[in-house]
Chains A and B, each alone.
Chain A
């Protein structure tokens, strides 16, 4: 295949029609699953694990944005963790500076991040494939320098809202989710809302437009899709997801550390989205867990967290080579196979009966 003309080459990825492969991905199982997950985690976990699960779920919200770009449009954005940081920054600044209700700050953090994501995605209108990945990586690198130098607002004066000399202020939890368990459920609610929002997009006109853009600009133009609008909208939505995730992350811990927002985190976020599966909500939830829970579990068992990094690397190669729909795809395929086997057994049974 000629690397210079990717658009003329056929898309050889096996699930190049993930949209048509699962036309009626029902919303009800998703909501039931989320509710069960939220309840189970809230009931089973102890203090440390509830906090870990909360940040895992908050990251799942950010993953939803990466999955939207990669799964629906086939675009690789390596700057999404920078947008997580942006959302967290805006939310922290608003909580410290204005005292608005927390949920409103989360929403505004998401919107601000979405706006910046839209602007950052503008080059994507001209760049695709590798160049887009590189541009977003450059953005992530620049953001890393910026946020390491400025840090996150922690209740001080001035535009940056940094305190000097005294202890960093921690923002209070929202009134309706003051305890750790309640906050976990609060994050699950946000995750559910975001997944519903994305699903609503996928089923309507934007989803069809995105599927066409994925096929190439020529296909989209021929079908009369307004590429500029729908692609910018997708980047905005992905930024919104990242921002909400960042704001919820900030709310869970009470503050954020600038050194935790390295460019490598954006790369990990993308890698784990591909590993877990970018085409299904199950993958979105799984990716958050891989990011936060597996390293925690390994540390619990006395294994170095770097073993997880090695494992993720191998899993990424595995996912790219043999399982393009990720772990979620493999599970769902297994489930479908099980169901069809039971179906055939049932029909065989009724046929053999007189």
Chain B
């Protein structure tokens, strides 16, 4: 067990980010019918902004806050000024549109900040909790807490508030909700805002755990898609669980002889297997 523990801890760290990304994707998809392929790219831009702010000796909370706000802002701006033109098109076209945003943001980040590999280091990386021979840095502890807090608050928002009710109404039937007086654009904008903030947090966390590299961060979102797929782009609890399981399996794969080089394919294989067991998916997307 003691040999497993470090991998388990690492797996839960990455898995919580997958879960968080999955939630950000699913919340947006449920409310607007758009699957945000630019999720990772928005996160990458946020991470670079945090990196620049930290280099300018900003305090950590301020840097992170500004970076996350920037992510939310980019996402909202896209929904207000661009996504809006595609709102009457097939769902697939609206989702493909975010691919354009992803390319713009990825190209910009690569061009503006350069592509030399870096890590986003936080002051909280230094200390940590010692826990059965494994060190859990303060960054990990904080990120786990933030992830749990964000997921809980979104769940509460959806379940308990008026705007959450409106979001669920839009998820059910867009045109009917509009007829009943739900302010579609306002709910849309809010969903994009929440999703953008999630993207910002995920980007910053991944840049700290993996690497600060625009292209890599943009496409690190693909495993998070796997979590969202397993949650059928609908269920938040299943998405969270899937994200955690994917992270843990990916980390534990290193212990299986012969599978280690292939372990990063775990999310994709799990998603493909899950899809085989779905029924009647043609109506869903």
Spell out A's residues near B (CB within 8 Å).
Answer: 1-7, 9, 11-13, 76, 123, 126-131, 133-135, 137-139, 141-142, 145-146, 148-149, 217, 262-264, 267-268, 270-271, 274, 304, 306-317, 320-321
Q: Is the CB of A138 within 8 A of B271?
A: yes
A267–B99 touching, CB < 8 Å: yes
Q: Contact check, B107 vs A138: say whether CB atoms are below 8 A apart.
A: no
Partner of A309, one of B106, B174, B219, B272: B106
CB neighbours (8 Å) of B106 from chain A are 306, 309, 313
Nearest A residue to B37 via CB reads: A267
A309 to B107, CA, bound (A): 5
Stretch of B12-20, B43-51, B125-133, B258-266 at the chain-chain interface: B258-266
Interchain residue pairs with CB less than 8 A apart (8): A3-B174, A9-B90, A135-B272, A138-B272, A145-B262, A145-B265, A313-B101, A313-B105
Encoded as 1 (CB less than 8 Å from any A CB) or 0, chain B from 103 to 142 comes to 1111110110001000000000000000000000000000
> B229, A149: Cβ atoms under 8 Å?
no
Residues of B within 8 A of A9 (CB): 90
Contacting residue for B100 out of A126, A137, A138, A320, CB 8 A: A320
Given the known A-B contacts A2-B175, A137-B225, A138-B225, are A130 and B283 also in contact in the complex, defined by CB atoms under 8 Å? no
Q: For residues 54 through 94 of chain B, which have their beta carbon under 8 Å from a beta carbon of chain A?
A: 82, 85-93
**Which residues of B212-238 have CB atoms within 8 Å of chain A's CB atoms?**
215, 218-219, 222-223, 225-226, 229, 233
Known A142-B272, A145-B262, A321-B97; further 8 A-B contacts with Cβ < 8 A: A1-B90, A139-B268, A146-B262, A263-B222, A313-B105, A313-B106, A317-B104, A320-B97
Cα–Cα distance between A308 and B225 once the two chains are bound (Å): 26
- Which residues 265-285 of B have a CB within 8 angstroms of A? 265, 267-269, 271-272, 275-276, 281-285
Q: Is the CB of B269 within 8 A of A142?
A: yes
Contact present for A316 and B90 (CB under 8 Å): no
Query: Which residues from B are CB-within-8-Å of A312?
Result: 103, 107
* Complex interface: chain A residues within 8 A of B209 (CB): none
* Nearest chain A CB to B22 CB, angstrom units: 12
Expressed in whole angstroms, the Cα–Cα distance for A179 and B99 within the complex equals: 39
For the complex, is B33 an interface residue (Cβ under 8 Å from A)?
yes
Q: Which residues of B contact A142 (CB under 8 A)?
A: 265, 268-269, 272
A308 and B285 contacting across the interface, CB-CB below 8 Å: no
Indicate which residue in B85, B96, B107, B229 contacts A307 across the interface (CB closer than 8 Å).
B107
Are B103's CB and A146's CB within 8 A? no
**B72 to chain A: closest CB distance in Å?**
20
Please give, as numbers and ranges, the residues of chain A lying within 8 Å of B110 by CB-CB distance: 304, 306, 309
Contacts of A271 in B (CB 8 A): 99-100, 103
A205 to chain B, nearest CB (A): 24
Contact of A141 with B268 at beta-carbon distance under 8 Å, contacts A2-B174, A262-B219, A309-B106 already known: yes
How far in angstroms is the closest Cβ of chain B from A111?
24
A314 and B219 contacting across the interface, CB-CB below 8 Å: no
- The winner among B175, B176, B283 for most chain A CB atoms within 10 A is B283
Q: Give Cα A274 to B89, complex, Å.
A: 15
- Shortest Cβ distance from B228 into A: residue: A134
Contact B226 A307 (CB under 8 A): no
Contacts of A149 in B (CB 8 A): 261-262
B173 CB to nearest chain A CB (Å): 6
Contacts of B87 in A (CB 8 A): 1
